[in-house]
Structure 1
Amino acid sequence: MTAQTVTVQTSRVRRIAGLTGPLVGVLMVAVLAACGSGGGGSEDETSTPVTSAEPTSAPETTEESPVPEETTPYLDPSLGDSSKPGSSSMTISGTVEAGVEAGCLVLEYEGTVYGIFGNYDASVVYAGAEVTLTGAVDDGMMTTCQQGTPFVVEDAQSSD
């Protein structure tokens, strides 16, 4: 590489460096890669691009899904809805206790622990409160409380 070639390449880099925008980095990398690909030999050398005879497309897959259909999870949109068919309204009462998970409340009634969910007045339903709750059990409801049978509250009254 001659001094004149180095000067020309340096001035190209300076012009590119003066550009603004997201392409500057890409252009800098391309210029530097082009400068370094000469191999340091004489100017008579030519480079040949490396090509592959193999196609670069992804191979076709004829396999079916590795997960059988019967194990694919399905979330029923009616889960968590106390108005769905089969849910009957009931009334439970007792002392509300804090659940094992933060923010969860439970109430034990006739030997069954119920997780308390739904829209209720937090000034009535809280850990330590004596309450009477009207609502429905929702066995299909998914919760993070990991405790009790889900009970969706429709009405809450203080028993004090």
Structure 2
Amino acid sequence: MNTQTSRVRRIAGLTGPLVGVLMMAVLAACGSGGGGSDGETSTPVTSAEPTSAPETTEESTVPEETTPYLDPSLGDSSKPGSSMTISGTIEAGVESGCLVLEFEGTVYGIFGNFDASVVYAGATVTLQGNVDDGMMSTCQQGTPFVVEDARPSD
């Protein structure tokens, strides 16, 4: 057994039979390249044509303005008409220290600077404020509602 076959068998034993078969096929193909056994030498094929890309005269279809336009008023809770009033009973949220209020089928997470003697779990209140969909919170519950004014409901 020659050295080349011995190496292939050792590698095949380490990496599995399929890899070994593939390696033997590759080595066999390398040995039968029609190279120098009958004295002929192979010459590389070259092309006289340039390899650069052809020049184009068409205009680009990419628009000049590629930056997306963002309306700065989107998500701005200070625009007119965005203030709303919600009423109901405050409940404790699923996370510690979080408060929620359900109003007309929507659960709101309660945030902002408010009087804790008015807004607490179990209190029936009327809150005025703004929805802030972009707010991030650890409460993970409800649509964020930032309270501007809080008063007990009658």
The TM-score, its normalising length taken from structure 1, stands at 0.47
Q: Which of structures 1 and 2 has the bigger CA Rg?
A: 2
